[in-house]
Amino acid sequence: MKVIVVGKGGREHAIVRALKDSSSAPEVYAWPGSDAIFELATRAEGVSGVPDLLNFITQEGIHLCVAGEESYLMKGLADACEAMGISCWGPKVAGALLEGSKEYAKEFMTRHGIPTGHYESVNSAEEAREAIQSYPCVLKFDGLAAGKGVAVCADAAASDAFLDEVFASKRFGDGKLLVEEFLEGPEVSIFCMVADGGYQILCPARDYKRLEDGDGGPNTGGMGAVASPQLIEAELRHRIEKEIVCPTVEGLQKDGTPYRGFLYFGLMLTETGPKVIEYNCRFGDPECQAVMPLIQGDLAGYLLKAASGVLDPSYFSFEDRWSVCLVLASAGYPASSRSGDVIRGLNEVGDGARVYHAGTRKGESGEFETHGGRVLAVVAQGDSREEAVERAYESGKSVTFDGAQRRGDIGRLHFS
C-alpha cells in the first residue's frame, strides 16, 4: 500500500511516523513535507501545487491521500481527489467549513442543538461594541486566521485594540467577526474519525496554549499536550458523545454534508456541561504528537478503509497509558520567530522518546536548525501521568538551541 501525507508540520511528522509504524507497513510519501519528514517519507518530487499533487498520486499509484493541514482542505483538496477517483482522508470544502467559518459552525450548532456559547455576528467595530455585553468577552474573526483570529478580551482597551486589527488594519482580510460569550472551565480536545454517519472517538488530549508556566503569557499554537484514554472519566466521555459528537455527526448527515476525515472538537468543560468552542477538520497540533505514539495496530489500513466509508475499530487500539508532548519554541515566539539556530542533542534523547519536527530545516553542515516559531516536540510515554511527564522532561533535557523556550509544567498542571 502507498499513502501520501499532505502537510509539513509536527502533526504531519507524527502522522507519517504512525503510518510507517502500521502493521501493514505502507510506503509513505509526503508533500510539501520537511527535511525531517523526508527522513521517513519519500518526497513528492516536482510537485508545486494541488493539481501537480493529484497527477503525482495517480502516476505513482498511491492508494490514499491523508490531509494533515486544513488549508488544503479549504482549497478543495478532497473535492479534487474525489473528482479524480483518489481516496482521501479529510473532508470536502462543505465539511471543512466547520473549521473554515466560525459563523457557519455556530449556525450549524444552533440548528442541531449542540451546546456552545451565545454569539452575535457583526460587520463593523461599531456593531461589535454594541454587541459586547460584559467583560471578559471573546472576539473571533470568521475565517481561517492561522490561529491568530481569536481574542479573549479582559476590558474595552483590549477589545478596541483587536477591533482595530480586524476592521481598520484588516489584518486577516475582509470578513465578519463573532462576539462570543466567554466560557469558563478546563479545555479538552476530543478527536474522532468520522465517515458519513459513523464515528469513532479517539484518545482525548489537553493542549497547553499559553506560552508561560501556570497558563500565563500570550496564546500560542500550543506549547505542549498530554493525552491518555484515562484523561477524562467515562461518565463525562459518554456525555460528550451523547450531547456533542452524536448530534454533530447526525447534523452533517441531515444537512447533506458527507464528511470523511478527522474531526476535532475543542471543548470547554463548563459548570453546566461541556460546550463546543470550535471544530477543526483535522487533528490537533500538538495533541497529535502526543496521541500518535499510543496507537498500536494498522492506522494506514484503517484510514484506507475509512476513506471508502467504513470505520473498522479492529484495526488499531490505544495503549492505556499516558503520553506527554513538550514543545520547544524559538526565540521571540509567538510575536516573531528566529531561524538558523543549530539544534543540539537530537541524538541523545532517551530510549522510547520521540522527537517530532515542526519548524526545522537542515543547514549547510547537515545539522538541523530552527526554522519557525514552534521548532520541535519531545514526546514520551509512561504508565502514569507523572511517569510520562518525568520521561518527557528527562528526554528533552539534551535538546537545546539558542533562545529555546519551553514550559516547565506540561502534564504537571492538570485539570483543577
Question: From the CB of 303, what's the least distance to ligand GLY, in Å?
Answer: 19
If the CB atoms of residues 128 and 232 are measured against ligand GLY, the closer one turns out to be 232
> Could you tell me which residues come within 8 angstroms of residue 39 by beta carbon, excluding any fewer than 6 positions away?
none
117 near ligand AMP, rule: CB under 6 A: yes
285 near ligand GLY, rule: CB under 6 A: yes
Within a 10 A sphere around the Cβ of 162, how many other Cβ atoms?
21
In whole angstroms, give the CA distance from residue 384 to residue 171. Answer: 44
Strands 42-43 and 27-32: what pairing? Answer: parallel
How big is the CA angle at 268 (ends 148 and 386), to the nearest 5 degrees?
A: 95
Is the alpha carbon torsion for 98, 77, 142, 254 positive or negative?
negative
Phi-psi region of 90 (alpha: psi -120 to 50; beta: other; left: phi over 0): left
Question: From the CB of 221, what's the least distance to ligand GLY, in Å?
Answer: 7
Judged by beta carbon distances under 5 to 8 A according to partner kind, the member of ligand AMP, ligand GLY, none in contact with residue 222 is ligand GLY
Question: From the CB of 151, what's the least distance to ligand AMP, in Å?
Answer: 8
- With beta carbons less than 8 A apart as the criterion, state whether 4 and 31 touch: yes
Rounded to a whole number, what is the distance in angstroms from the first to the last CA of the chain?
Answer: 45
Torsion of CA 60, 297, 36, 229, to 10 degrees: 140
Judged by beta carbon distances under 5 to 8 A according to partner kind, the member of ligand AMP, ligand GLY, none in contact with residue 172 is none
In whole angstroms, give the CA distance from residue 283 to residue 99. Answer: 12
If the CB atoms of residues 31 and 264 are measured against ligand GLY, the closer one turns out to be 264
Judged by beta carbon distances under 5 to 8 A according to partner kind, the member of ligand GLY, ligand AMP, none in contact with residue 284 is ligand GLY
7 near ligand GLY, rule: CB under 6 A: no
97 near ligand AMP, rule: CB under 6 A: no
266 near ligand AMP, rule: CB under 6 A: yes
> Residues, the chain, total?
416
The mark string for 342-381 relative to ligand GLY (x by CB under 6 A, - otherwise) is ----------------------------------------
Q: With CB under 6 A as the rule, give the number of residues binding ligand GLY.
A: 6
- With beta carbons less than 8 A apart as the criterion, state whether 318 and 296 touch: yes
If the CB atoms of residues 218 and 345 are measured against ligand GLY, the closer one turns out to be 218
120 near ligand AMP, rule: CB under 6 A: no
Q: With CB under 6 A as the rule, give the number of residues binding ligand AMP.
A: 13
CA distances from 334 to 3, 148, 172, 192, 217 (A): 33, 10, 17, 29, 10
138 near ligand AMP, rule: CB under 6 A: yes
Nearest residue to ligand GLY, scored by beta-carbon proximity: 284
Chain residues in the site for ligand AMP (CB under 6 A): 117, 138, 150, 152, 180-183, 187, 209, 266, 277-278
Chain residues in the site for ligand GLY (CB under 6 A): 207, 222, 280, 284-285, 287
